[in-house]
Every structure is written in structure tokens, then in C-alpha cells.
Amino acid sequence: MMKSEKHELRGSGGRLVVHSWGEPEGEPTARYIALLAHGYGEHAGRYEHVAQRLVAHGAAVYAPDHRGHGLSDGDRALIEDVEAMVDDLHAVADFARGRHPRLPMILIGHSMGGLLAARFAQRYEPELMGLVLSGPAIGGNPEMKQLLALDPIPEIPIDPATLSRDPQVGRAYAEDPLVFHGPFARQTLKSLFEAIDRVAAGPSLDVPGLFIHGDDDRLVPLDPARDAARRLCTDFLEEHVYAGGRHELFNETNKEEVLDDVVSFVDAVLQRT
């Protein structure tokens, strides 16, 4: 098993910790760079198994702990400016390309990370060969938006049971000290919904996209997310909706099927070049 490396960059909120897996610097054995953007309240270390699968497929994998998440600096899970977080993600992309020049880049974003990935693609589309959106928070959630009308916002943390049909996933999430287990801040919700509106405002993309979602996702509703993905990726969008799948498809009981679909999409994208 390939061990991860940790790197420190200067991000919008101070120290930005970046995890990487794959080829050492200067040894050109990888076929592409995979840039991973994790979701709200979690951290990149939860994607170890995803990174290992991508490395076996030929990727050099890079994944930051976003500002205020995991090992990175910043107030815990406070999202003040999504565009600044996209700036951070772009700094990681530059870092990865500096270590592995000329490799094509695939961007994979889950949940809030899918929102960051969508904005990254809108701002830096020529830098990407493909975009993977996993349960992306790009279509809005009316129930969550209603929280903004309440004062104070109820302290309702994410229910671990909504993540996966595998109960061990929920237990590990609940016990993980690097996961934020508190309620949403008002500024966080406001910033996320502003970013959703920016994605909806365009532009649409020519880069090939893969949309993956569970039909039992209670955190990011399927239909609004799928509609938003179709408006975003107008040139080519492959879709996989998994029956019974909850929010974290990379941690679901059929995660191997999901990862198979991701690497098959990447193969198809790389063959287009």
C-alpha cells in the first residue's frame, strides 16, 4: 500500500495541508493527476482507499484538507468565502502540476467538494481533462436553506446514518476527531448557497463530466443536483444513480462498483486526448 505524504502550502486561511499518494517527484510513472476535494466537515484522510484505487489505476493523487478542516488552519468548518477555497484548490493544482509536469488532470469533488469542483471548472476549465461530481452540493437543498430564516439556527449536526448503509462508516465518522461534529454556522450556509447561485449563473462547460449519486441521499437531494449537473456539463455528462445509495458513495456498500465507474470514466477521458 502506498503511504501518503503531507505537504504544507500557504492558503487563504493560513497553513493548508495537502495529502498526496502516488509516484515520487521526478519519477514519471503516473498517467494523470487526480485532484480530490472532500466534503463539508470532513477531511482528505477519509479518502485513503479512494486514493489507493486511483494510484493503482495510474494516478498521482493530491487532496487538501480545506481551510477550517482536518489538519489545515482556520475556524472549524466555517465557510466564509467559497471562492477563496477554490483559490486554495487551484494552488494545490499548481503544486501538483509542478511536481508532475504535462500530466492531464482529473478533478473529483464530493458534496461541498463537488461545489468547489464545479466552481473550479468554471474558472479554470482549460486546466482540466475531466470532472467527477459525487453527490455534489450544486443544486441546493430547500430544507437546509430554510435554516437561514431561523434565529438561532438549530444545532442539528449531520446524522452519521445518512452517510452509508455500512454502519461501520457511521461509527468511524462519529469517532473521528478530525471530523467536525457541530452545527452549521449561519455564514457557512449563506456562503454555500451564494456559491450554488454562482454555479447556476454559468458558464456551462465543455469538459467531460461524470455525475454519481445515490437515490437515497438525504443530505443532497438527487433531482436538483442532477439538473444542475446537466446544466453545467452540456458537452458530455455520464450519469450513474445507485439504487439505495446514501450520501457517501465512496464509502457505500457498493463502493467498488462506484470506483469501477470512476476509473472507467477516466479511461474514456484519457482516450479522447
Looking at the annotation, which residues are catalytic? 111, 217, 247
Rounded CA separation 205/166 (Å): 35
Please list the alpha-helical segments (H only) found in the chain: 48-56, 82-99, 112-124, 142-145, 167-175, 186-200, 222-232, 255-271
How many other CB atoms are found less than 10 A from the CB of residue 143?
10
End-to-end CA distance of the chain: 30
DSSP for 24-45 reads: PTT----SEEEEEE--TT--GG
Give the DSSP H or E segment for 14. strand 14-21
DSSP for 244-270 reads: T--S-GGGSTTHHHHHHHHHHHHHHHH
Bridge pairing between strands 59-64 and 14-21: antiparallel
Tell me, rounded to whole angstroms, the distance of Cα 232 from its chain centroid. Answer: 16
